[in-house]
């Protein structure tokens, strides 16, 4: 098939692109810049922005399926920027599919779209969207997910996938941030209890996307639904963080702060940053405080049943691969990338 991957140069998008290329599919990437790694794979690269509907429509021309992975991520920034990229951008992708007669759309969502600030133990897809959100990212991703699922119909089959805490070799977000905070002596456990949390190795998340696309068609069981993707191996959050740090040759975290203090601190930082209109990310936010002090792990029954999702790379194996990756690059790069 011929696939368009928005954000094909990103962490998850790149993994999806590689998987598609490995099995012989024709791949086009739509991103704001070009990537040498994609060029080496023979991937056609189209430069553009999700906020430009004409560019999105042109990029999707001639494709059979769209993997909409690109998004405005992070936990801080103006509402308008998140809405423009995540909500309006997704609307442009849906319109491009319809204009080009594309029959399949796979949307990368997030479990945070149903996060209401309390423990989620074995949550499944019946969980409702919360009444309020603690950050613009989950709010706009929830609006985008709802638009994608509402677009499902006889002419366009859609599915939304919710991978949780994606990590692995080449991770430009979670792992470098943890290592940088640990080396600077700023990393603390949030909460006195380490709650169970699900994560997902990047290759497992990519396989889930491709398998869902393969099963997707108008009227198919997967059409019009959302699914969680994870390792299926929930473990105490801070144990997992310590294992990631060990892969980088760093000691475990020894300091901690209560969940209540972290939440209050996050609220104070948010107030200050809004008052002075600071664009950089605060040291703590209410959303992060809640995420790091509550349980969130998910029931994979639906993904296993409807498109045969199996996380083939175990957490132990994934951590071995991360350790190998980290040992193969200068420590400074790992900490600041």
| Domains observed in the chain | 2-171+199-234+297-313 (3.40.50.720)
Name the least confident of 56-60, 174-178, 325-329. Answer: 325-329
Q: What is the pLDDT of residue 331?
A: 37
* Measured distance CA(232)–CA(313) in Å, rounded: 11
Q: What is the dihedral of CA 312, 317, 321, 323, to 10 degrees?
A: 150
Mean pLDDT of 72-81: 95
* Measured distance CA(226)–CA(234) in Å, rounded: 20
Give the model confidence (pLDDT) of 93-108 as tens digits. Answer: 999 999 999 999 999 9
Give the model confidence (pLDDT) of 183-235 as tens digits. Answer: 999 999 999 888 999 999 999 999 999 999 999 999 999 999 999 999 999 99
Give the model confidence (pLDDT) of 6-49 as tens digits. Answer: 999 999 999 999 999 999 999 999 999 999 999 999 999 999 99
- Say if CB 318 and CB 165 are below 8 A apart: no
SS (H, E, C) the chain: CEEEEECCCCHHHHHHHHHHHHCCCEEEEEECCCCHHHHHCCCEEEECCCCCHHHHHHHHCCCCEEEECCCCCCCCCCHHHHHHHHHHHHHHHHHHHHHCCCCEEEEECCHHHHCCCCCEEEECCCCCCCCCCCCHHHHHHHHHHHHHHHCCCCCCEEEEEEECCEECCCCCCHHHHHHHHHHCCCCCEECCCCCEECCEEHHHHHHHHHHHHHHCCCCCCCCCEEEEECCCCCEEHHHHHHHHHHHCCCCCCCCEECHHHHHHHHHHHHHHHHHCCCCCCCCCCHHHHHHCCCCEEECCHHHHHHHCCCCCCCHHHHHHHHHHHHHCCCHHHHHHC
Q: What is the pLDDT of residue 74?
A: 92
Does residue 335 carry a pLDDT above 60? no
Catalytic residue positions?
Answer: 137
Does residue 1 carry a pLDDT above 70? yes
Tokens representing residue 246 in the block? 């060990």
Does residue 317 carry a pLDDT above 90? yes
Give the model confidence (pLDDT) of 241-278 as tens digits. Answer: 999 999 999 999 999 999 999 999 999 999 999 999 99
Give the model confidence (pLDDT) of 159-168 as tens digits. Answer: 999 999 999 9
Q: What is the pLDDT of residue 325?
A: 95
Q: What is the pLDDT of residue 337?
A: 26
Q: What is the pLDDT of residue 333?
A: 33
- Say if CB 157 and CB 149 are below 8 A apart: no
Which percentage of the chain shows pLDDT scores above 90? 95
Strands 235-236 and 196-197, by their bridges, are: antiparallel
Instruction: For the chain, give the mean pLDDT.
Output: 95
Mean pLDDT of 310-321: 97
Does residue 334 carry a pLDDT above 70? no
For the entire predicted model, the pTM comes to 0.95
The pLDDT-based confidence of 328 (bands split at 50, 70, 90) is: confident
CA distances from 82 to 33, 77, 132 (A): 19, 7, 16
* Measured distance CA(67)–CA(107) in Å, rounded: 6
- Say if CB 186 and CB 131 are below 8 A apart: no
Does residue 131 carry a pLDDT above 70? yes
């Amino acid at each position: 098939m011929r696939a368009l991957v928005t954000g094909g140069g990103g962490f998850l998008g790149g993994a999806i692109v590689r998987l598609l290329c490995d099995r012989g599919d024709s791949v086009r990437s739509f991103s704001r810049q070009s990537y040498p790694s994609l060029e080496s794979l023979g991937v056609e690269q189209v430069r553009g922005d999700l906020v430009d509907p004409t560019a999105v429509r042109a990029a999707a021309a001639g494709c059979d399926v769209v993997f909409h992975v690109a998004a405005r991520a992070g936990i801080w920034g103006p509402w308008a920027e998140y809405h423009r990229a995540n909500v309006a951008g997704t609307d442009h992708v849906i319109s491009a599919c319809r204009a080009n007669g594309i029959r399949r759309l796979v949307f990368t969502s997030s479990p945070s779209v149903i996060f209401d600030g309390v423990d989620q133990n074995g949550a499944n897809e019946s969980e409702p969207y919360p009444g309020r959100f603690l950050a613009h990212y989950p709010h706009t991703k929830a609006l985008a997910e709802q638009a994608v699922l509402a677009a499902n119909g006889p002419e366009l089959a859609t599915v939304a996938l919710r991978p949780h805490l994606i990590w692995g070799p080449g991770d430009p977000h979670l792992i470098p941030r943890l290592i940088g905070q640990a080396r600077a002596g700023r990393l603390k456990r949030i909460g006195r209890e380490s709650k169970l949390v699900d994560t997902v190795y990047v290759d497992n998340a990519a396989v889930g996307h491709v398998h869902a696309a393969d099963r997707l068609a108008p009227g198919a069981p997967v059409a019009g639904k959302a699914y969680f993707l994870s390792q299926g191996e929930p473990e105490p959050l801070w144990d997992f963080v310590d294992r990631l740090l060990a892969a980088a040759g760093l000691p475990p975290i020894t300091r901690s702060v209560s969940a209540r203090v972290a939440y209050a601190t996050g609220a104070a930082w948010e107030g200050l940053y809004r008052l002075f209109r600071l664009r950089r990310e605060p040291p703590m936010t209410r959303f992060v405080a809640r995420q790091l002090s509550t349980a969130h792990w998910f029931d994979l029954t639906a993904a296993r049943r409807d498109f045969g999702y199996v996380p083939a790379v175990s957490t132990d194996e994934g951590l071995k691969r991360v350790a190998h990756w980290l040992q193969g690059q200068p420590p400074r790069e790992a900490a600041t990338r």
